[in-house]
Chain A
Amino acid sequence: MGATAYGKPYAVQPATVASEPVSLIASAQQGNPAAFEALYREVHPRLLRYAAVLIGQEAEDVTAEAWLQITRDLSTFSGDDDAFRGWACRIVRNRALDYARARNRRPVQAADLSLLFDRPDTTDTEQVADENMSTAAALALISSLPRDQAEAVLLRAVVGLDSATAGQVLGKRAGAVRIAAHRGLKTLAIAVSETTEDSGNEHE
């Protein structure tokens, strides 16, 4: 469990640095609510999904607490957009681990995630079933992986971190993250193909 202190900037690959997100973060740091809201809308869904894979139903609580901490410590943050997401993920992760320690972690169930991601916010039920059941199902599937793989896949593919930044979240080297993510994908691929075969057999 890497315990690198935050508050200092990530080592971000030069190619990822751009002025715009930095400005947005800087503006939030100066107290601009619109900038904060934009950041929240951008980052929170990713955090929530990451937390869901980590902790299931308590993801909302975890991320809500994480945002309080982010808000509190925002002034000390230094870095760009990628670094911000990494920083936020790290906070979420620490919170989630606290929660997990407080109870015996049980496997995340798709039903748990459905509560988070499948609420009928729309009247288009077909759409809900089509689009969002699959989000919960996909997250549940990913969370069925060994945790290091699940986290690596989530941080890379959903949160959008590169391996180096994800490694800083996880306290691992970038190479280890890459390996875990690849393994996770391979395992997922097998699970998916099995699922497909099963459902194919059922329908035939």
Chain B
Amino acid sequence: MNMSNTDGRPGAEESEMPTLTPYRSPADLEQMLDGRLGASDPLAAVIRAACGPVRPSELSGLPTALNAFTAMPGRDPRPTASNSLLSRISGKVSTRLFALTAGVVATTGGVALAASAGYLPSPASHPQPAPASASTTGSSELSASVRTSPVAPAVPGSSSAAHQGRPAGSGSASASANGPGALPSPNLSGLCRSWLARPHERGQADSNPSFTVLIAKAGGTDLVDGYCTTLLASVSPGASAPTNSASSGAANTKPSKSATAIPGQNKKTPSVS
């Protein structure tokens, strides 16, 4: 690779820029472009900010887009063989969504939550070594499961940090808390609450990939109610462990004022359902 060419000008073909003080090597710059951002680097802070949390307003066009999608003639909604593949990942996606919401609600009042929630994840096609950040926050990777993470789940506070996502928070006070977003395991409690909270949508939920994990876990659609009842009974309602929070149902149905900073992504439009 030419990456180590000196001065970042390998065969420069456009020379509208004057030569600038090269205080970062091309390799450094590539790392930065790949989302490997140093904690205290002010330039990295700009990139990090540009990749900042997804604002609910940024998703305000979702209903319109979704309507257009469903109204498109020629759509064939029949489940097909590839749905099995889809449901695997889609389940993961929505599980992440639920988990994010739940984790966020569980840590109400955490300013840091916004720092970690909803950051645009690093391109998974690029390796993501841990930044030397003081932050132990795993980026929420809200949508990272959609993409091709070579090593998927960002483990919060992972000490190896070899595959940690983009650092959450901008290196300031916001980086002080743990990241509720990076939740590697399915938030079954949240799924259960969502399931139980919407019995009228059950028919739809059956085919909703969001619940695939849950249905599989329960052993069948008919068994989900019982499974969830048992599961939720065993979970303390006040439990605040991000991975096992039982709050996502509440978050979906009643966005908490104090916790809607970023999870408000689910506020205007229902989560995958």
Name A's B-contacting residues (CB within 8 A).
13, 15-21, 23-24, 26-28, 30-42, 44-46, 48-49, 60, 63-64, 67-68, 71-72, 75, 80-82, 116-119, 121-124, 126-127, 130-132, 134-135, 137-139, 141-142, 146, 148-149, 153-154, 156-162, 175-176, 178-183, 185-190, 192-193, 196
Contact = CB atoms under 8 A, between A and B. Distances in A.
Given A18-B148, A67-B61, A162-B123, A24 B8 contact: no
Given A31-B76, A131-B114, A189-B23, A36 B125 contact: no
Contacts of A67: 61, 65, 68
B35 interface: yes
B257 interface: yes
A20 B94 contact: no
A23 B82 contact: yes
A54 B196 CA distance: 45
Which among A75, A142, A160, A175 has the highest number of chain B CB atoms within 10 Å?
A160
Interface in B171-216: 172-174, 208-210
Interface of B: 2, 8-14, 16-17, 20-24, 26, 29-30, 32-35, 42-43, 45-62, 64-66, 68-70, 72, 74-78, 80, 82-83, 85-86, 88-90, 93-94, 97, 111, 114-115, 120-126, 142-143, 145-148, 150, 170, 172-174, 208-210, 257-258, 260-262, 264-265, 267, 269, 272-273
Given A21-B146, A131-B170, A71 B65 contact: yes
Nearest to B93: A38
Nearest to A72: B72
Nearest to A126: B111
Nearest to A161: B123
- Residues of A contacting B: mostly: helix
Contacts, number: 285
B57 A116 contact: yes
A134 B76 CA distance: 42
B272 A37 contact: yes
B53 A182 contact: no
Contacts of B74: 75
A60 B61 contact: yes
B114 A157 contact: no
Nearest to A38: B93
- Listed residue (B21, B70, B124) with the most chain A CB atoms within 10 angstroms of its CB: B124
Given A38-B90, A126-B111, A68 B68 contact: yes
A45 B59 contact: yes
Nearest to A117: B55
Contacts of B8: 179, 182-183, 186
A171 to B, nearest CB: 14
A157 B128 CA distance: 12
Given A26-B86, A27-B82, A41-B265, A183 B42 contact: no
A62 to B, nearest CB: 11
Interface-central residue, A28, A130, A139, by most chain B CB under 10 Å: A130
